[in-house]
Structure 1
Amino acid sequence: MTRLLYLVSHPIQYQAPLLRRIAAEPGIDLRVIFERKDTVQGYHDPGFGTQVRWDVDLLGGYDHATMAETSLESEIGRADAVWMHGWDSSARLKALGLARVRGRPVLMRGENQDQAMPDGPGPRGWVKRRYLAWIFRRCRAFLAIGTANGDYYLRRGIGKERIFSMPYAVDNQAFAERAAGADGMALRRSLGIPDGLPVVLFAGKFQRRKRPDLLLDAWKTLAQPRPVLLMVGDGEMRAELEAWAEPGVVFAGFRNQGELPGFYAMADAFVLPSESEPWGLAVNEAMACGTAVVVSDQVGAARDLVDETTGAVFPAGDAAALSTALSQVIARSDCLGAQAAERIAGWDFEADVAGLKQALAFVEERRP
């Protein structure tokens, strides 16, 4: 039995079902330590610009505590291996040092990739590279969420044998089941969307880096009768987006996890036009619901999940290319959506568990 300690900032809606799956795996004794968990009761999300309380179980099914409730040094001492999600906090940097002192191997998983998170030029880039080298020397193995993330480690001198695939996944089964059980016609009526019109969906934070404005511009150039543009979410750009909108654009506000599958299932195409996006788990969600996807080439998920068989990839910032991609995908949305569901089926928690176990076996074999 491998005692695995997982360190992460807070309970994350995407990760909770994965942690339950890992906790159920024979041979792994999982213990999760959060830096904080008060967010479970709700918090102000600056990206959405509103109060958020997720409607999914964030804490059930696995052993957990917060750093305030336990001793980090003792927890690391009891573990056989330490898994960390990112290195963006003083608590996890402290844990890196403690793990090194106690001789516990660290498995690092993060979202970094060069397009979304470049080191940058000049002195700041040099300092960042030195900082990353310091962190990576303290890690025994790396858990890559996708191809671009794996390449990020390779470019920084990490040997291929130390990188293991642990793909960024969502609960595919839960999304597919909720999508299948959703009443699409009732949802259309509640939103005032006419029957028979295709639906283009944006679901996420109305932030400038996600470029919902680019989608609105591209939509305006589509041939009449245009599909409905359904904007689900909230954030800093909402007022200006509403001011630019024309008839045919529907703003549905923030919607929780339990509601999203119905929106994905109703859509003919889901669009993520970001200019900077380390991954984009909404792409996984849409595909699990059988929806074709259109993403920019700056979305991390594009390289692994999106091509002409599941949707389209367009150059970030190019409204004309996005408009063309939308027209092509909407014309084949049923076929592409079915293929999207097939593609995402293998990008799942089972693949995560397999990669994690391979990494654990690797560090165990090299234990001093």
Structure 2
Amino acid sequence: MKFVPQTTVAAVVSHPIQHFAPLYRAVNDRNLDLRVLFLSRAGLDRYHDRGFGTQVQWNSDVTDGYRHEFLADLALRPDWQQPNACRRAAGRVWAALDRLRPECVLIYGYRHTFNLAALAWCRRRRVPALMTSDSELLGRRSTRARIVKRLALPPLLRSMDAFLTIGDNNEAYLAAYGVPRSRMFRVPLTTDEAALREAMDQRDIHRRAVRADLGIDPAALVALFAGKLIDRKRPLDLADALRELARRPHSPQAREVVVVMAGDGQLRPALEEAAAELDGALRLVGFADQRQLPRLYAASDLYVHPAQRDPHPLAVKEAVLSGLPVVVSDRVGSVGPTDDVRPGRNGRVYPVGDVTTLAGILDELRRGPDLLAEMARESEKAIGDIELAASVEGLLRAVSAVRSPHGRGSR
């Protein structure tokens, strides 16, 4: 694939985010001069995450390996709560783009003033704009929100030159608002694949060590959940499913099911009560960072995500990259024939909140080692479509398309 030498791409991003960094680093060797413009230091410095209910700080290397600068230090609050700061930040975005003069600009969504400022700069300077987001149609929206989106989004999206999509539901969302498929380029969300591969290379070691640390039978079927322990994620559904499972007839061939939860949040006290009642079937391990999670994936047989709404959870992707079968609710956005969770292949999907169906799936998998193994093989087959290499190629194809003489960026 040929590209204009040293094409400069500016990415306008709210703050350093752990799972964006691998893509930024990877394109450095692929003829793109990437400049990342951050509007906040949130995530780089230690901060209190209200969802997790604890202090959080990403690994210190989140900004290593690519060119970047901080244009402002906005608080991660809605624009209307800090209008003056947002106006100043928008002005700094415009000034930085004028200074850098990129041939292409990557914009993350359209919610913030600085996003719209970057788009306005592109239109004024006749520079191609790429947009990426995790929007999907699964979540329930008010009638007013649907009407506003139907009126406002199509003209806004038409002003973008191309879209970096993250999955099937994301593409369905864009198509519903009039974006042609020819302007969509699949760029799956990225993560620290090296850490996952290293953990998988030592899977047996981690499996024995983690299970020994938690007092879990080596033969048990371990289902992992990783995320905030909040209402939207519905972790209590897993406790209810375990109760339902305990009431079902138990055969000697059926494995014990143990759910391991990695995370923290407001529901932790309720989950601790449930864990005490469930006599070892539910284990809470607290917040786990990017160094600890790979060991938990390696020690597990299955990943479960029961969320009420989750556009494209990174934990689901990491589970698939780790070769795990996945069970998710029908409100999780990473489901589709070419996405992370492929129903009937590496995944099972159930109606959100339907604890009986969730328990039935767990019961089926604990009784069917061959089925579980086949689902794991299907996850391994999906890796090539969702790994970092696919993300890099998708970004390069998008840049090539909008920079070509016949692309929209030539208008």
TM range (shorter): over 0.9
Q: Is the 8 A contact 1:40 1:54 kept in 2?
A: yes
1:62 is displaced (CA, Å) by: 0.3
Partner of 2:326: 293
Relative to structure 2, which stretch is displaced further, 208-217 or 168-177?
A: 168-177
Secondary structure, aligned partner of 2:220: coil
Q: Is structure 2 residue 163 aligned with structure 1 residue 142?
A: yes
| 1:22 aligned partner, one-letter code | V
1:76-87 residue pairs with structure 2 within 5 A? 76-77=97-98, 78-87=101-110
| 1:132 aligned partner, one-letter code | L
Q: Is structure 2 residue 341 aligned with structure 1 residue 328?
A: no
1:43 is displaced (CA, Å) by: 1.3
Q: CA RMSD in A?
A: 2.0
1:173 is displaced (CA, Å) by: 4.0
1:179 is displaced (CA, Å) by: 3.1
Q: Is the 8 A contact 1:56 1:258 kept in 2?
A: no
String of CA shifts for 1:38-79, please: whole Å, max 9, x gaps.
431211112211111123620111000011399422432310
String of CA shifts for 1:165-214, please: whole Å, max 9, x gaps.
11234343431222333522222222222332221211111121111111
Report the Cα distance in structure 2 between the residues aligned to 1:60 and 1:281, rounded to whole angstroms.
Answer: 21
Q: Is structure 2 residue 280 aligned with structure 1 residue 257?
A: no
1:3 is aligned, of 1, 5, 8, to 8
Counterparts in 2 of 1:158 and 1:195: CA distance versus 1, 3 Å: closer
1:28-47 residue pairs with structure 2 within 5 A? 28-47=32-51
Partner of 2:352: 316
| 1:352 aligned partner, one-letter code | S
1:285 is displaced (CA, Å) by: 0.7
Q: Is the 8 A contact 1:40 1:58 kept in 2?
A: yes
Report the Cα distance in structure 2 between the residues aligned to 1:144 and 1:346, rounded to whole angstroms.
Answer: 13
Report the Cα distance in structure 1 between the residues aligned to 2:145 and 2:304, rounded to whole angstroms.
Answer: 34
String of CA shifts for 1:236-285, please: whole Å, max 9, x gaps.
11111222332122110001111111111111111001121111111111
Relative to structure 2, which stretch is displaced further, 181-190 or 79-88?
A: 181-190
Relative to structure 2, which stretch is displaced further, 331-340 or 9-18?
A: 331-340
Report the Cα distance in structure 2 between the residues aligned to 1:142 and 1:159, rounded to whole angstroms.
Answer: 10
Q: Is the 8 A contact 1:171 1:348 kept in 2?
A: no
1:1-368 residue pairs with structure 2 within 5 A? 1-25=6-30, 27-55=31-59, 57-68=61-72, 71-77=92-98, 78-116=101-139, 120-121=142-143, 123-181=144-202, 183-222=206-245, 223=248, 224=250, 226-245=256-275, 246-248=278-280, 249-303=282-336, 304-306=339-341, 307-330=343-366, 331-332=368-369, 333-365=372-404, 366=407, 367-368=410-411
Partner of 2:80: none
| 1:228 aligned partner, one-letter code | V
Q: Is the 8 A contact 1:171 1:349 kept in 2?
A: no
Q: Is the 8 A contact 2:158 2:179 kept in 1?
A: no
Report the Cα distance in structure 2 between the residues aligned to 1:124 and 1:166, rounded to whole angstroms.
Answer: 27
1:120 is displaced (CA, Å) by: 3.4
Secondary structure, aligned partner of 2:43: helix
Q: Percent identity, aligned pairs only?
A: 36
| 1:244 aligned partner, one-letter code | A
Counterparts in 2 of 1:203 and 1:166: CA distance versus 1, 3 Å: same
Report the Cα distance in structure 1 between the residues aligned to 2:403 and 2:386, rounded to whole angstroms.
Answer: 26
In structure 2, runs of 5+ residues without a counterpart are 1-5, 74-88
Relative to structure 2, which stretch is displaced further, 200-209 or 37-46?
A: 37-46
TM-score, structure 1 as length reference: 0.93
Q: Is the 8 A contact 1:36 1:66 kept in 2?
A: yes
Q: Is the 8 A contact 1:284 1:344 kept in 2?
A: no
String of CA shifts for 1:83-108, please: whole Å, max 9, x gaps.
01112221112222122111111100
Report the Cα distance in structure 2 between the residues aligned to 1:165 and 1:39, rounded to whole angstroms.
Answer: 26
| 2:187 aligned partner, one-letter code | M
Q: If you compute each CA radius of gyration, which structure gives the higher value, 1 or 2? A: 2
Relative to structure 2, which stretch is displaced further, 222-231 or 266-275?
A: 222-231
1:325 is displaced (CA, Å) by: 1.2
Q: Is the 8 A contact 2:22 2:190 kept in 1?
A: no
TM-score, structure 2 as length reference: 0.84
Report the Cα distance in structure 2 between the residues aligned to 1:105 and 1:364, rounded to whole angstroms.
Answer: 7
